[in-house]
Amino acid sequence: MSKPLKIVQYKYYLKESSKDGIISFVGSNPSSKASFFYRAFIDQSLRNIMKRRFEECFSYSNTQGSNHLRQAISGLFIDNIRVSADSILITNGSQQAISLIAQTLIRPNDNVLVDHTSYLGIEKPLKDSRARIQSFPKPLHELSYSGIEKVIKYVQPKILYVIPDFANPTGQSLTGELRTFLAEFAERYRFFLVEDRSYSCLAYPYNPLLPSLLSLSSDTLSIGSISKCIAPGLRIGWIASAQINNINKLVLQKETVDLGSSMLVQEISASILEELRKSPKLMDTIKAFYQRRMELLLSSLEKYMPEDFSWTIPHGGFFVWVNGPKSLDSRSFFQRALLNGVGFTPGCLFYYKKPQNNTFRLSISDVPDTDIEEGVKRLAKAASEELSQIHHSS
Ligand SMILES: Cc1ncc(COP(=O)(O)O)c(C=O)c1O
Protein backbone atom coordinates (compact mmCIF):
# COMPACT_ATOMS: atom_id res chain seq x y z
CA MET A 1 0.00 0.00 0.00
CA SER A 2 1.34 3.47 -0.87
CA LYS A 3 2.06 5.91 1.95
CA PRO A 4 -0.66 8.50 2.73
CA LEU A 5 0.04 11.92 1.29
CA LYS A 6 1.99 14.25 3.52
CA ILE A 7 -0.94 16.66 3.69
CA VAL A 8 -3.18 13.86 5.00
CA GLN A 9 -0.62 12.93 7.66
CA TYR A 10 -0.24 16.60 8.57
CA LYS A 11 -3.98 16.95 9.12
CA TYR A 12 -3.82 14.15 11.69
CA TYR A 13 -1.17 16.04 13.72
CA LEU A 14 -3.09 19.30 13.34
CA LYS A 15 -6.33 17.72 14.56
CA GLU A 16 -4.81 15.87 17.52
CA SER A 17 -3.03 19.03 18.64
CA SER A 18 -6.14 21.18 18.43
CA LYS A 19 -7.90 19.26 21.21
CA ASP A 20 -8.78 21.03 24.45
CA GLY A 21 -5.88 21.73 26.76
CA ILE A 22 -3.14 21.19 24.16
CA ILE A 23 -0.70 23.99 23.34
CA SER A 24 -0.17 23.52 19.61
CA PHE A 25 3.03 24.45 17.80
CA VAL A 26 1.70 22.67 14.67
CA GLY A 27 -0.25 25.07 12.41
CA SER A 28 1.20 27.72 10.13
CA ASN A 29 -2.02 29.71 10.13
CA PRO A 30 -1.18 33.35 10.85
CA SER A 31 -2.51 34.57 14.17
CA SER A 32 -6.09 35.83 13.95
CA LYS A 33 -4.84 38.70 16.15
CA ALA A 34 -2.65 39.93 13.27
CA SER A 35 -5.77 40.69 11.15
CA PHE A 36 -6.88 43.17 13.83
CA PHE A 37 -3.98 45.41 12.86
CA TYR A 38 -5.66 45.81 9.44
CA ARG A 39 -9.21 46.13 10.69
CA ALA A 40 -9.49 49.87 10.04
CA PHE A 41 -8.01 49.47 6.51
CA ILE A 42 -10.44 46.68 5.69
CA ASP A 43 -13.50 48.63 6.89
CA GLN A 44 -12.41 51.69 4.93
CA SER A 45 -11.58 49.76 1.78
CA LEU A 46 -14.93 47.95 1.80
CA ARG A 47 -16.74 51.31 2.02
CA ASN A 48 -14.63 52.79 -0.82
CA ILE A 49 -15.16 49.79 -3.04
CA MET A 50 -18.93 49.74 -2.60
CA LYS A 51 -19.01 53.44 -3.49
CA ARG A 52 -16.49 53.60 -6.34
CA ARG A 53 -15.88 50.18 -7.81
CA PHE A 54 -19.13 48.34 -7.29
CA GLU A 55 -19.62 47.26 -10.91
CA GLU A 56 -16.08 45.93 -11.50
CA CYS A 57 -16.13 44.06 -8.23
CA PHE A 58 -19.11 41.94 -9.12
CA SER A 59 -18.00 41.20 -12.64
CA TYR A 60 -15.48 38.68 -14.03
CA SER A 61 -11.85 39.57 -13.48
CA ASN A 62 -9.34 39.72 -16.28
CA THR A 63 -7.76 36.24 -15.86
CA GLN A 64 -4.31 37.65 -15.23
CA GLY A 65 -5.78 39.62 -12.33
CA SER A 66 -6.88 43.15 -11.51
CA ASN A 67 -4.45 45.71 -12.84
CA HIS A 68 -4.93 47.72 -9.65
CA LEU A 69 -3.76 44.75 -7.51
CA ARG A 70 -0.86 43.83 -9.81
CA GLN A 71 0.39 47.43 -9.59
CA ALA A 72 0.12 47.37 -5.82
CA ILE A 73 2.03 44.07 -5.61
CA SER A 74 4.78 45.19 -7.94
CA GLY A 75 5.18 48.38 -5.87
CA LEU A 76 5.36 46.62 -2.51
CA PHE A 77 6.71 43.12 -2.90
CA ILE A 78 8.75 42.85 -6.09
CA ASP A 79 12.14 44.20 -5.12
CA ASN A 80 13.82 44.40 -8.51
CA ILE A 81 13.75 46.01 -11.88
CA ARG A 82 12.99 42.95 -13.94
CA VAL A 83 9.22 42.85 -13.73
CA SER A 84 6.28 45.23 -13.96
CA ALA A 85 2.59 44.64 -13.32
CA ASP A 86 2.39 42.98 -16.77
CA SER A 87 4.67 40.19 -15.60
CA ILE A 88 2.50 39.21 -12.65
CA LEU A 89 -0.33 36.70 -12.53
CA ILE A 90 -2.72 36.84 -9.58
CA THR A 91 -3.55 33.45 -8.06
CA ASN A 92 -5.75 32.13 -5.27
CA GLY A 93 -2.95 31.99 -2.72
CA SER A 94 0.55 30.73 -3.40
CA GLN A 95 -0.83 27.20 -3.25
CA GLN A 96 -2.61 27.77 -6.56
CA ALA A 97 0.58 29.28 -7.94
CA ILE A 98 2.41 26.02 -7.18
CA SER A 99 -0.35 23.95 -8.82
CA LEU A 100 -0.45 26.13 -11.94
CA ILE A 101 3.33 25.91 -12.33
CA ALA A 102 3.19 22.12 -11.97
CA GLN A 103 0.34 21.84 -14.50
CA THR A 104 2.02 24.15 -16.98
CA LEU A 105 5.71 23.26 -16.89
CA ILE A 106 5.93 19.62 -15.90
CA ARG A 107 5.83 16.71 -18.32
CA PRO A 108 5.55 13.15 -16.94
CA ASN A 109 8.81 11.96 -15.35
CA ASP A 110 10.38 15.43 -15.19
CA ASN A 111 12.54 15.86 -12.11
CA VAL A 112 11.78 18.57 -9.59
CA LEU A 113 14.63 19.19 -7.19
CA VAL A 114 14.00 20.55 -3.69
CA ASP A 115 16.10 21.32 -0.61
CA HIS A 116 16.84 18.55 1.92
CA THR A 117 13.49 19.42 3.56
CA SER A 118 10.68 21.35 1.90
CA TYR A 119 7.05 22.45 2.04
CA LEU A 120 4.70 19.48 2.21
CA GLY A 121 2.04 21.17 0.05
CA ILE A 122 4.12 20.73 -3.13
CA GLU A 123 3.81 16.94 -3.01
CA LYS A 124 0.31 16.47 -4.44
CA PRO A 125 0.40 19.07 -7.23
CA LEU A 126 3.77 17.74 -8.40
CA LYS A 127 2.69 14.12 -8.20
CA ASP A 128 -0.56 14.91 -10.02
CA SER A 129 1.61 16.21 -12.87
CA ARG A 130 3.67 13.00 -12.63
CA ALA A 131 6.86 14.80 -11.63
CA ARG A 132 9.58 12.93 -9.76
CA ILE A 133 10.50 14.81 -6.59
CA GLN A 134 14.22 14.66 -5.81
CA SER A 135 15.95 16.33 -2.89
CA PHE A 136 19.47 17.37 -1.96
CA PRO A 137 21.17 14.89 0.38
CA LYS A 138 21.85 17.65 2.94
CA PRO A 139 20.48 21.16 3.56
CA LEU A 140 21.69 23.45 0.75
CA HIS A 141 23.71 25.63 3.11
CA GLU A 142 25.67 22.57 4.32
CA LEU A 143 26.76 21.59 0.80
CA SER A 144 29.72 22.98 -1.13
CA TYR A 145 28.95 24.66 -4.45
CA SER A 146 30.61 21.80 -6.30
CA GLY A 147 28.44 19.40 -4.26
CA ILE A 148 25.30 21.31 -5.32
CA GLU A 149 26.44 21.37 -8.93
CA LYS A 150 27.09 17.61 -8.86
CA VAL A 151 23.51 16.93 -7.72
CA ILE A 152 22.11 19.30 -10.37
CA LYS A 153 24.12 17.59 -13.11
CA TYR A 154 23.00 14.17 -11.93
CA VAL A 155 19.29 14.99 -11.46
CA GLN A 156 18.91 17.30 -14.48
CA PRO A 157 15.93 19.05 -12.93
CA LYS A 158 13.21 20.78 -14.90
CA ILE A 159 12.54 22.88 -11.81
CA LEU A 160 14.53 23.71 -8.69
CA TYR A 161 12.03 24.76 -5.99
CA VAL A 162 13.39 26.75 -3.03
CA ILE A 163 11.96 28.82 -0.17
CA PRO A 164 14.73 31.43 0.12
CA ASP A 165 13.55 33.28 3.23
CA PHE A 166 12.57 31.79 6.62
CA ALA A 167 11.76 28.49 5.00
CA ASN A 168 8.99 26.12 5.85
CA PRO A 169 9.97 23.94 7.77
CA THR A 170 13.41 25.08 9.04
CA GLY A 171 13.05 28.86 9.39
CA GLN A 172 16.41 29.24 7.65
CA SER A 173 17.31 31.47 4.69
CA LEU A 174 19.63 30.98 1.73
CA THR A 175 22.78 33.08 1.91
CA GLY A 176 23.33 35.80 -0.71
CA GLU A 177 26.21 33.83 -2.21
CA LEU A 178 24.13 30.69 -2.52
CA ARG A 179 21.40 32.66 -4.31
CA THR A 180 23.94 33.92 -6.83
CA PHE A 181 25.20 30.38 -7.46
CA LEU A 182 21.70 28.96 -7.90
CA ALA A 183 20.93 31.74 -10.40
CA GLU A 184 24.11 30.90 -12.33
CA PHE A 185 23.34 27.17 -12.29
CA ALA A 186 19.79 27.84 -13.58
CA GLU A 187 21.24 29.68 -16.57
CA ARG A 188 24.02 27.14 -17.18
CA TYR A 189 21.93 23.98 -16.81
CA ARG A 190 18.67 25.37 -18.23
CA PHE A 191 16.15 24.73 -15.49
CA PHE A 192 13.47 26.92 -13.94
CA LEU A 193 14.16 28.32 -10.52
CA VAL A 194 10.90 28.48 -8.62
CA GLU A 195 11.29 30.59 -5.50
CA ASP A 196 8.48 30.50 -2.98
CA ARG A 197 8.52 33.83 -1.15
CA SER A 198 5.45 33.16 0.99
CA TYR A 199 7.37 34.09 4.15
CA SER A 200 9.61 36.84 2.76
CA CYS A 201 7.23 39.55 3.97
CA LEU A 202 7.93 38.45 7.56
CA ALA A 203 11.58 39.50 7.97
CA TYR A 204 11.80 40.74 11.53
CA PRO A 205 12.35 44.51 11.80
CA TYR A 206 15.94 45.68 11.13
CA ASN A 207 16.73 42.43 9.33
CA PRO A 208 17.08 43.41 5.68
CA LEU A 209 15.97 40.83 3.11
CA LEU A 210 18.54 39.36 0.74
CA PRO A 211 17.92 39.76 -3.02
CA SER A 212 15.18 37.60 -4.49
CA LEU A 213 16.18 34.98 -7.06
CA LEU A 214 13.93 36.85 -9.48
CA SER A 215 16.33 39.77 -9.27
CA LEU A 216 19.26 37.46 -10.06
CA SER A 217 18.00 35.23 -12.87
CA SER A 218 15.49 35.62 -15.68
CA ASP A 219 14.87 31.87 -15.41
CA THR A 220 13.03 32.45 -12.14
CA LEU A 221 9.35 32.11 -11.42
CA SER A 222 8.74 33.94 -8.17
CA ILE A 223 5.75 32.98 -6.04
CA GLY A 224 4.35 35.34 -3.42
CA SER A 225 1.37 35.61 -1.11
CA ILE A 226 -0.35 37.96 1.30
CA SER A 227 -1.53 35.02 3.43
CA LYS A 228 1.18 35.11 6.05
CA CYS A 229 1.56 38.85 6.49
CA ILE A 230 -1.99 40.11 5.88
CA ALA A 231 -4.77 37.52 5.77
CA PRO A 232 -4.91 33.93 4.49
CA GLY A 233 -8.69 34.15 4.11
CA LEU A 234 -8.37 36.60 1.21
CA ARG A 235 -6.63 33.84 -0.82
CA ILE A 236 -4.37 36.17 -2.78
CA GLY A 237 -1.03 35.06 -4.16
CA TRP A 238 0.90 35.64 -7.37
CA ILE A 239 3.55 34.46 -9.79
CA ALA A 240 6.05 36.94 -11.24
CA SER A 241 8.46 36.24 -14.07
CA ALA A 242 10.71 38.36 -16.24
CA GLN A 243 9.69 36.18 -19.17
CA ILE A 244 6.24 37.23 -20.24
CA ASN A 245 5.73 34.04 -22.29
CA ASN A 246 5.84 32.06 -19.01
CA ILE A 247 3.16 34.29 -17.55
CA ASN A 248 1.04 33.94 -20.70
CA LYS A 249 1.14 30.13 -20.45
CA LEU A 250 0.18 30.28 -16.79
CA VAL A 251 -2.69 32.68 -17.54
CA LEU A 252 -4.03 30.19 -20.05
CA GLN A 253 -3.88 27.43 -17.45
CA LYS A 254 -5.62 29.61 -14.85
CA GLU A 255 -8.34 30.27 -17.39
CA THR A 256 -9.13 26.55 -17.50
CA VAL A 257 -9.22 26.34 -13.70
CA ASP A 258 -11.30 29.32 -12.56
CA LEU A 259 -11.40 32.12 -15.19
CA GLY A 260 -9.70 34.46 -12.73
CA SER A 261 -9.72 35.28 -9.01
CA SER A 262 -12.58 37.10 -7.28
CA MET A 263 -12.58 40.78 -8.26
CA LEU A 264 -14.06 41.85 -4.95
CA VAL A 265 -11.25 40.20 -3.03
CA GLN A 266 -8.61 41.54 -5.41
CA GLU A 267 -9.88 45.08 -4.95
CA ILE A 268 -9.98 44.75 -1.16
CA SER A 269 -6.43 43.40 -1.22
CA ALA A 270 -5.21 46.17 -3.54
CA SER A 271 -6.67 48.77 -1.28
CA ILE A 272 -5.04 47.24 1.84
CA LEU A 273 -1.68 47.16 0.04
CA GLU A 274 -2.04 50.79 -1.00
CA GLU A 275 -2.70 51.78 2.59
CA LEU A 276 0.28 49.73 3.71
CA ARG A 277 2.48 51.56 1.29
CA LYS A 278 1.45 54.83 2.92
CA SER A 279 2.01 53.42 6.43
CA PRO A 280 5.06 51.14 6.24
CA LYS A 281 5.30 51.19 10.05
CA LEU A 282 2.23 48.96 10.24
CA MET A 283 4.08 46.12 8.57
CA ASP A 284 6.83 46.51 11.17
CA THR A 285 4.22 46.17 13.92
CA ILE A 286 3.15 42.82 12.51
CA LYS A 287 6.70 41.60 12.07
CA ALA A 288 7.54 42.68 15.63
CA PHE A 289 4.44 40.83 16.83
CA TYR A 290 5.85 37.54 15.47
CA GLN A 291 9.40 38.40 16.45
CA ARG A 292 8.32 38.65 20.09
CA ARG A 293 6.79 35.18 19.89
CA MET A 294 9.91 33.80 18.24
CA GLU A 295 12.13 35.30 20.95
CA LEU A 296 9.93 33.80 23.64
CA LEU A 297 10.17 30.40 21.97
CA LEU A 298 13.94 30.54 21.52
CA SER A 299 14.61 31.68 25.08
CA SER A 300 12.28 29.01 26.48
CA LEU A 301 13.97 26.28 24.42
CA GLU A 302 17.32 27.47 25.77
CA LYS A 303 16.02 27.42 29.34
CA TYR A 304 14.15 24.12 29.42
CA MET A 305 15.15 21.65 26.67
CA PRO A 306 17.43 18.72 27.57
CA GLU A 307 21.03 18.96 26.39
CA ASP A 308 20.86 16.67 23.36
CA PHE A 309 18.51 18.97 21.43
CA SER A 310 19.54 21.76 19.06
CA TRP A 311 17.49 24.13 16.92
CA THR A 312 17.66 26.81 14.22
CA ILE A 313 17.67 30.57 15.01
CA PRO A 314 15.40 32.20 12.40
CA HIS A 315 15.36 35.93 11.60
CA GLY A 316 11.81 35.99 10.28
CA GLY A 317 8.71 33.91 9.75
CA PHE A 318 7.12 31.29 11.97
CA PHE A 319 9.28 28.18 12.17
CA VAL A 320 11.99 26.64 14.30
CA TRP A 321 13.46 23.28 13.31
CA VAL A 322 14.57 21.04 16.16
CA ASN A 323 17.09 18.19 16.01
CA GLY A 324 16.86 15.62 18.78
CA PRO A 325 19.26 12.81 19.61
CA LYS A 326 19.55 10.12 16.90
CA SER A 327 17.57 7.61 18.98
CA LEU A 328 14.48 9.85 19.07
CA ASP A 329 11.56 9.09 16.75
CA SER A 330 9.52 12.28 16.65
CA ARG A 331 6.34 10.36 15.68
CA SER A 332 6.24 8.42 18.95
CA PHE A 333 7.57 11.47 20.79
CA PHE A 334 4.52 13.32 19.43
CA GLN A 335 2.20 10.87 21.26
CA ARG A 336 4.05 11.43 24.52
CA ALA A 337 4.04 15.20 23.96
CA LEU A 338 0.25 15.08 23.53
CA LEU A 339 -0.09 13.30 26.89
CA ASN A 340 1.91 16.22 28.32
CA GLY A 341 -0.39 18.77 26.65
CA VAL A 342 1.72 20.00 23.73
CA GLY A 343 1.86 19.34 19.95
CA PHE A 344 4.38 19.81 17.13
CA THR A 345 4.87 18.50 13.59
CA PRO A 346 7.17 15.48 13.20
CA GLY A 347 10.01 16.22 10.81
CA CYS A 348 9.52 13.15 8.59
CA LEU A 349 6.65 14.97 6.83
CA PHE A 350 9.04 17.44 5.25
CA TYR A 351 11.52 15.05 3.61
CA TYR A 352 11.18 13.84 0.04
CA LYS A 353 13.85 11.13 0.33
CA LYS A 354 15.10 9.31 3.41
CA PRO A 355 13.61 11.12 6.43
CA GLN A 356 15.52 11.97 9.59
CA ASN A 357 13.04 10.91 12.20
CA ASN A 358 14.73 12.71 15.08
CA THR A 359 13.63 16.15 13.79
CA PHE A 360 10.48 18.20 14.30
CA ARG A 361 9.02 21.62 13.47
CA LEU A 362 7.70 24.19 15.93
CA SER A 363 5.54 27.06 14.66
CA ILE A 364 4.87 30.22 16.69
CA SER A 365 2.28 31.64 14.33
CA ASP A 366 -0.83 30.93 16.35
CA VAL A 367 0.43 30.33 19.90
CA PRO A 368 -0.43 33.21 22.25
CA ASP A 369 2.60 34.79 23.95
CA THR A 370 1.28 33.64 27.31
CA ASP A 371 1.34 29.96 26.26
CA ILE A 372 4.79 29.74 24.70
CA GLU A 373 6.92 29.21 27.82
CA GLU A 374 4.41 26.73 29.27
CA GLY A 375 4.31 24.87 25.92
CA VAL A 376 8.11 24.50 25.91
CA LYS A 377 8.13 23.36 29.56
CA ARG A 378 5.70 20.59 28.60
CA LEU A 379 7.78 19.72 25.53
CA ALA A 380 10.95 19.49 27.64
CA LYS A 381 9.24 17.26 30.20
CA ALA A 382 7.95 14.98 27.44
CA ALA A 383 11.44 14.89 25.90
CA SER A 384 13.07 13.83 29.18
CA GLU A 385 10.44 11.09 29.67
CA GLU A 386 10.85 9.88 26.09
CA LEU A 387 14.65 9.75 26.28
CA SER A 388 14.66 7.91 29.59
CA GLN A 389 12.24 5.34 28.14
CA ILE A 390 14.47 4.91 25.09
CA HIS A 391 17.56 4.39 27.34
CA HIS A 392 15.64 1.91 29.48
CA SER A 393 14.56 -0.22 26.57
CA SER A 394 17.91 -0.23 24.74
C1 LIG B 1 6.05 27.47 1.70
C2 LIG B 1 4.58 27.65 1.49
N3 LIG B 1 4.14 27.91 0.25
C4 LIG B 1 2.85 28.09 -0.03
C5 LIG B 1 1.89 27.99 0.97
C6 LIG B 1 0.45 28.21 0.62
O7 LIG B 1 -0.01 29.40 1.20
P8 LIG B 1 -1.17 30.32 0.58
O9 LIG B 1 -1.84 29.52 -0.50
O10 LIG B 1 -2.08 30.61 1.70
O11 LIG B 1 -0.50 31.53 0.04
C12 LIG B 1 2.28 27.72 2.28
C13 LIG B 1 1.29 27.57 3.35
O14 LIG B 1 1.53 27.26 4.47
C15 LIG B 1 3.67 27.54 2.55
O16 LIG B 1 4.12 27.29 3.78
Q: Which tens digit of pLDDT belongs to each residue from 97-114?
A: 999 999 999 999 999 999
Contact 35, 229 (CB under 8 A): no
**Ligand 1 atom nearest 119 alpha carbon:** 1
Cα 373 to Cα 133, 302, 344, distances in angstroms: 37, 11, 14
What is the C-alpha separation between 74 and 25, in angstroms, rounded? Answer: 33
Ligand 1 pocket mutation pick from 11, 28, 89, 94 by most atoms within 8 angstroms of CB: 94
Beta bridge partners of 239: 89, 223
What is the secondary structure of 281-294 as a DSSP string?
Answer: HHHHHHHHHHHHHH
C-alpha 198 – ligand 1 centre gap (Å): 6
Q: Ligand 1: distance of its center to the CA of 95 in Å?
A: 6
pLDDT at 44: 84
pLDDT at 51: 87
Q: What are phi and psi of 322, to 5 degrees?
A: -110, 135
pTM reported for the whole predicted model: 0.96
Residue bearing the CA closest to ligand 1, atom 16: 168
Residue 258 pLDDT more than 90? yes
How many angstroms does the Cα of residue 304 sit away from the middle of ligand 1?
31
**Digit-coded pLDDT (tens) for 10-60:** 999 999 999 999 999 999 999 888 777 788 888 888 888 888 888 888 888
Do the bridges between strand 111-114 and strand 159-162 make them parallel or antiparallel, or are there none, so unpaired? parallel
**What distance lies between CA 85 and its chain's CA centroid?**
23
* Ligand 1 atom with the shortest distance to the CA of 225: 11
**Which of ligand 1's atoms lies nearest the C-alpha of 167?**
1
Give CA–CA dist 255/250, Å, rounded.
9
How far does the centroid of ligand 1 lie from the alpha carbon of residue 255, in Å?
21
CB 203 within 8 A of CB 166: yes
Q: Which residues of 206-223 are buried (b: 16+ CB within 10 A; e: fewer)?
A: ebebbebbbbbbebbbbb
Cross-strand pairs, 321: 361
pLDDT tens for each residue of 154-193: 999 999 999 999 999 999 999 999 999 999 999 999 999 9
User: At residue 312, what is the residue type?
Assistant: T
Q: Give the pLDDT band of residue 124 (cuts 50, 70, 90).
A: very high
For residue 151, report the distance from its CA to the centre of ligand 1, in Å. 26
Residues with CB under 6 A from ligand 1: 28, 93-95, 119, 121, 163, 168, 196, 198, 225, 227, 232, 237
Mean pLDDT (whole number) for 197-213: 91
> In Å, how far are 190, 226, 299 from 211, measured between CA atoms?
21, 19, 29
